[in-house]
Amino acid sequence: MSAGPRLALPWRVLVVATGAVLVWLFLGALLDSDYDRPTHAVGAVLTTAVVVPLVVVARRVLDRRPWAGLGLLSLRAGWRRLLFGMACWLVPAAAGFALCLGLGWVEISVRTSVGDVLRVAVLLVVLVFLKEALPEELVFRGYLQHHLATRLPAWQAVIGQAVLFTVFGFLIGAARSVDRLALFLVFALLLGAFRAATGDIWAGIGLHVAFQTVAQLFGDVGAVFDVVGGDVLGVVAMGVIPFSVSWIVLRHRYRDHLDWRALAPDPVR
C-alpha cells in the first residue's frame, strides 16, 4: 500500500479514540437492559463486528498503511504469545486465590454443579474475547499505542495509551470511581508493556481474557459462586499478585529485546 497525504497523527489518534467511545456508548445504549446471557452474547458479537471494521477503515483510509503495523498477526503466528499472556496472569492469580483462602480472608462456595461452572467459564472466555479483549486491545494497544510509538519513545507511548484507555473507561461509564480508574490505568500500563515487549497484541489479548474471565466468573456475571471477601479477592488475588508477577516475568523474558527509548517503525507496505 503506497503512502500518501494523511491527517496529522494527533487527529488520527483523536478520530479513532473518539470513534471507540461512540461505538461503546451506542452499543451500551442499544443493549441497555438487565443482564442475561443472550444479551451479553449479542453485545460481544456486535462489539467485535463493529470495532474491527472501524480499525480496518482507519488503517486504510486515515493511515494509508498496511494492517501489519497494528500487531494483530494471524492466530497461527500468535497463539504461543496468547497462551503466554494467559499464563502470566492465571498462574500467580491461582497462587493468590490459594493465599486468600488459606489465610481465611475469603470464602468461596459453589452455587451449582461443576459441569455448569465449566460451561459458564468456557462461554465467558469466548464472550470476553469478543466483547473486551480483542476489540479493546486492537484499538488501544494495536492502533493507538502503535501510532504514539512512531513519534514517542516506547515508555511514553505506553503511558499515553494508558491515559486514553482510562479516559475511555470513564466516558463509557465503566470507570467512574477512584478504584476503577486506578484499575483501568494500571491494567492498561501492563498491557501496553506487553505490546511494547512482544511487538504484537496477542500476549495482551491473552492476559486480558484471563483477567476478565476470572473476574466475571467470580462476580455477578458468572453467577456460579458465592464469594465472601470479594474486595480482598479482587485486590490481592486478581490484582496486586498477578499484575506484579506478570510485570516481573515480562521484564525477565524480554530484557534483551525491549528498548524503552526506541521509536516504532510504521511500515508502508
Q: Pseudo-torsion of CA 73, 79, 84, 85, nearest 10°? A: 60
Residue 186 reports pLDDT greater than 80: yes
Span 149-160, pLDDT tens digits: 999 999 999 999
Q: Select from 187, 45, 206, 54 the least CA-distant residue to 127.
A: 45
Q: Is 104 exposed, middle or buried (0-12, 13-18, 19+ CB in 10 A)?
A: exposed
For residues 224 and 109, the answer to whether their CB atoms sit within 8 Å is no
Phi, psi dihedral angles at 193 (to 5 degrees): -65, -40
**How does pLDDT run across 39-54, given as a tens digit for each residue?**
999 999 999 999 999 9
- pLDDT at residue number 245: 98
CA gap 135, 138 in Å, rounded: 5
pLDDT tens column, 114-144: 999 999 999 999 999 999 999 999 999 999 9
Indicate whether 113 pLDDT > 80. yes
Helical (H) or strand (E) element with 110: strand 107-110
pLDDT digits (tens, 9 = 90+) for 219-248: 999 999 999 999 999 999 999 999 999 999
Does this model's pTM top 0.85? yes
